[in-house]
């Protein structure tokens, strides 16, 4: 697209900075080079959301270090921009070159959330790329996906060519390098896919056939080509000290969801929460040293000008050198007016002194995640925290001057009763009582407790993958119950839309039959389904009915241990036997210890992909 046309268009849209692509630290290369490999990294949501995703920044940096490859960013255009593009027949373009991605070599999507799948089809449609894999010709881009949802990408099998399982820094480059060789002769698409099918971390859906039982459950998923792995393995980065990390983050022109430096302390988690997919699929745990983090941070501060640093990991307070790191951050950056922010905190091991220390520049609210309202329920999910932990943490916080706290919970968990819901309300009122005790019975005007609940979604590769989700009616009634229980001037209650959670569960545990549903929903206008203001459950219901599929079958149905899941052929290193044991423990309200203290036999430490790391 030429600059004149773009300038005219951007005057007509709400946030033109979403489409400029000339931000500080963005990469630009000479696209007149015919041998340049063109790689579009697509985040299927708005610019503000995608620019806040750390993994995208890491891959952008890694891939652009190869002089022969140009990685550009692509985001879903907002509705106003899309309308103009369709009206004027402008194909979707990469931000850096502003050239259509239609003829790129790779168009790659990160799958962070199941309800972004219609946006993927919308991006392909805007780029004039055939939606269906079987319709693509030799010169069409290869469509590749990765991210947490890629571990069950079966609903997208009709649309994608290549799936990256696990961490992408190394495997993406290996795929691109194989493509460079293939491109010299450019035989057939199938030849290239076969060439990369044995790279660890690569899964080619078209090389596997799915058969079904009469009751519509999966019977088998088996390779249809000789030499293709029966169980594709995830890829992990084994040495975090040597793992690439961007020294320059792209600095956006507008506010984004997370407008700050993100410092990744480690990957993996040892806590074993039974509802948490990330805690299972990102094993084993691998830390970065304080010295490596110092090196990364100094470069990022120098190259971005950000005045806030966010410490990021699945359970940040479990970082073994946290005190040493925070001492350094305070000593080095407080005088430079650079603040430190924390994610939600565990109640059982986080030092409030550390929280006080690192928030000297600006004191934000504190967020804790008890996840469930009663001890029984917390034992079911293996959360490993108690009411005493919450009381001690909030008391220390209030003594140190905090006046606001947020509490995160999940509703609809397996075995949940209304007593467990009442426990959520009781904990909120206990926090108010703790505040009164600290302040001699007084409540300050700026004091407040925010209670947020999300709806449990059974996810693949978790101990709770066999459980059904509550129906929409059950979830709504539970939310209403909490609204009644939490009526208090000092409590604010937020809850997640139950309708989007329902379809999230359908797609999360879906099989290849759902591809037609996603296609039909998209054709009927579905997009930005993760946004409640855009989501229309009726559109999805109609698409399910059109394809003779049942929401209850995918979302609400309990499953038995003998059932074959659509994702059972994928190897994430955690065994199904371990997940079964954990599910059985949950039925007995029995907790499993932190893996740092005792091995629970999940399988990752005896598996090739995790050997020697755990």
Cβ pair 311, 341 in contact under 8 A: yes
Q: Return the pLDDT at 402.
A: 87
Task: Report the domain count for the chain.
Answer: 1
Structure tokens at 69: 């490859």
Cβ pair 72, 23 in contact under 8 A: no
Residue 476 is part of which domain span? 261-496+573-587
Distance between start and end Cα atoms, the chain: 50
* 48 lies in some domain: no
User: How far is Cα 475 from Cα 470, in angstroms, rounded to an integer?
Assistant: 6
Q: Say whether 548 sits in a helix, a strand or coil.
A: coil
Q: Return the pLDDT at 315.
A: 86
3-state secondary structure 568-597: CCCECCCCHHHHHHHHHHHHCCCCCCCCCC
CA distances from residue 52 to 75, 115, 300, 317, 429 in whole angstroms, order as listed: 12, 18, 15, 21, 34
CA neighbor of 52 nearest in space, from 259, 212, 195 = 259
* 184 lies in some domain: no
Q: Return the pLDDT at 608.
A: 56
Structure tokens at 471: 């129906």
* 450 torsion bin: left (phi>0), alpha (psi -120 to 50), beta (else): beta
Query: Counting Cβ atoms within 10 Å, is residue 428 exposed (0-12), middle (13-18) or buried (19+)?
Result: buried
Structure tokens at 517: 């549903």
Question: Which of the 8 DSSP states describes residue 250?
Answer: -
Q: Return the pLDDT at 362.
A: 64
User: How far is Cα 487 from Cα 3, in angstroms, rounded to an integer?
Assistant: 55
Q: Return the pLDDT at 364.
A: 66
DSSP 89-117: TPPPB-TTT--BGGG-SEEEEE---GGGH
User: How far is Cα 188 from Cα 165, in angstroms, rounded to an integer?
Assistant: 24
Q: Which residues of the chain have pLDDT under 70?
A: 1-4, 344-345, 349-351, 359-365, 607-614
* 404 lies in some domain: yes
CA distances from residue 80 to 12, 46, 207 in whole angstroms, order as listed: 8, 12, 39
Q: Return the pLDDT at 217.
A: 97
Only one residue has tokens 């509550």, namely: 470
Angle, alpha carbons 106-110-115 (nearest 5°) = 125
Structure tokens at 574: 């955690």
Q: Say whether 135 sits in a helix, a strand or coil.
A: helix
For residue 335, the domain's CATH number is: 3.20.20.70
User: How far is Cα 464 from Cα 57, in angstroms, rounded to an integer?
Assistant: 32
* 291 lies in some domain: yes
Cβ pair 338, 309 in contact under 8 A: yes
DSSP 34-93: TTPEEEEEEESS-HHHHTT-HHHHHHHHHHHTSTTEEEEEEEPPPHHHHHHHHHTTPPPB
User: How far is Cα 586 from Cα 248, in angstroms, rounded to an integer?
Assistant: 44
Q: Return the pLDDT at 258.
A: 85
Structure tokens at 586: 């949950």
* 269 lies in some domain: yes
Query: Counting Cβ atoms within 10 Å, is residue 265 exposed (0-12), middle (13-18) or buried (19+)?
Result: buried
Q: Say how many CA atoms lie within 13 Å of 97 toward its Cβ.
A: 20
* Cβ-Cβ contacts under 8 Å for 328 (sequence gap 6 or more): 290, 294
Q: Say whether 555 sits in a helix, a strand or coil.
A: helix
User: What is the CB neighbour count within 10 angstroms for residue 224?
Assistant: 9
Indicate the pairing of strand 202-203 with strand 162-164. antiparallel
CA distances from residue 265 to 12, 318, 319, 574 in whole angstroms, order as listed: 42, 10, 7, 22
User: What is the CB neighbour count within 10 angstroms for residue 33?
Assistant: 11
* 514 lies in some domain: no
* 378 lies in some domain: yes
Question: Which of the 8 DSSP states describes residue 151?
Answer: G
| pLDDT tens, position by position, 543-589 | 999 999 999 999 999 999 999 999 999 999 999 999 999 999 999 99
* Cβ-Cβ contacts under 8 Å for 445 (sequence gap 6 or more): none
* 206 lies in some domain: no
């Amino acid at each position: 697209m030429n600059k004149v046309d773009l300038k005219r268009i951007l005057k007509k849209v709400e946030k033109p900075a979403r489409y400029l692509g000339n931000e500080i630290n963005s990469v630009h290369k000479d696209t007149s080079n015919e041998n340049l490999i063109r790689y579009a990294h697509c985040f299927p949501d708005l610019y503000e959301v995608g620019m806040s995703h750390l993994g995208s920044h890491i891959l952008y940096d890694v891939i652009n270090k190869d002089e022969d490859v140009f990685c550009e960013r692509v985001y879903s255009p907002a509705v106003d921009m899309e309308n103009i593009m369709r009206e004027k027949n402008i194909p979707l373009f990469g931000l850096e070159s502003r050239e259509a991605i239609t003829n790129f070599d790779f168009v790659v999507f990160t799958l962070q959330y199941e309800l972004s799948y219609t946006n993927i089809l919308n991006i392909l449609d805007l780029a004039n790329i055939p939606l269906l894999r079987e319709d693509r010709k030799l010169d069409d881009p290869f469509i590749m996906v990765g991210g947490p949802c890629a571990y069950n990408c079966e609903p997208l099998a009709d649309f994608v060519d290549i799936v990256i399982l696990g961490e992408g820094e190394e495997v993406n480059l290996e795929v691109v390098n194989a493509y460079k060789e293939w491109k010299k002769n450019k035989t057939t698409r199938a030849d290239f896919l076969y060439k990369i099918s044995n790279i660890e971390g690569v899964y080619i859906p078209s090389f596997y056939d799915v058969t079904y039982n009469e009751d519509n459950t999966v019977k088998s998923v088996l390779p249809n080509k000789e030499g293709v792995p029966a169980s594709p393995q995830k890829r992990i980065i084994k040495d975090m000290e040597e793992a690439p990390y961007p020294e320059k983050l792209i600095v956006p022109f507008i506010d984004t969801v997370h407008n700050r430096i993100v410092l990744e302390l480690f990957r993996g988690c040892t806590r074993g929460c039974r509802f948490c997919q990330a805690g299972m699929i990102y094993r084993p745990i691998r830390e970065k040293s304080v010295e490596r983090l110092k090196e990364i941070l100094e470069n990022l501060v120098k190259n971005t000008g950000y005045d806030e640093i966010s410490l990021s990991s699945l359970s940040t307070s479990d970082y073994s050198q946290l005190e040493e790191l925070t001492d350094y951050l305070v000593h080095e950056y407080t005088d430079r007016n650079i603040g430190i922010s924390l994610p939600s905190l565990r109640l059982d091991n986080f030092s409030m002194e550390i929280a006080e220390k690192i928030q000297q520049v600006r004191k934000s609210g504190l967020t804790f995640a008890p996840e469930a309202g009663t001890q029984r329920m917390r034992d079911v999910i293996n959360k490993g925290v108690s009411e005493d932990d919450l009381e001690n943490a909030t008391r220390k916080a209030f003594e140190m001057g905090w006046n606001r706290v947020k509490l995160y919970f999940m509703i609809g968990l397996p075995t949940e009763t209304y007593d467990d819901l009442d426990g959520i309300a009781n904990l909120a009122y206990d926090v108010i009582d703790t505040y009164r005790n600290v302040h001699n019975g007084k409540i300050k005007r700026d004091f407040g407790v925010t209670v947020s609940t999300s709806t449990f979604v059974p996810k693949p590769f978790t101990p709770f993958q066999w459980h059904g989700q509550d129906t929409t009616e059950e979830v709504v009634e539970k939310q209403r119950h909490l609204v009644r229980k939490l009526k208090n001037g000092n409590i604010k209650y937020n809850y997640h839309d139950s309708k989007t959670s329902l379809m999230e569960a359908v797609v999360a545990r879906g099989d290849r039959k759902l591809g037609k549903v996603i296609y039909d929903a998209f054709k009927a206008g579905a997009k930005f389904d993760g946004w409640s203001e855009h989501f229309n459950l009726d559109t999805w219901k109609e698409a399910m009915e059109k394809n003779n599929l049942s929401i209850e079958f995918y979302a609400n149905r309990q499953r038995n241990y003998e059932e074959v899941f659509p994702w059972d052929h994928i190897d994430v290193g955690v065994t199904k036997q371990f997940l079964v044991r954990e599910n059985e423990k949950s039925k007995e309200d029995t907790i499993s210890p932190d893996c740092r203290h005792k091995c629970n036999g999940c399988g990752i430490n005896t598996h090739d992909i995790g050997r020697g790391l755990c």
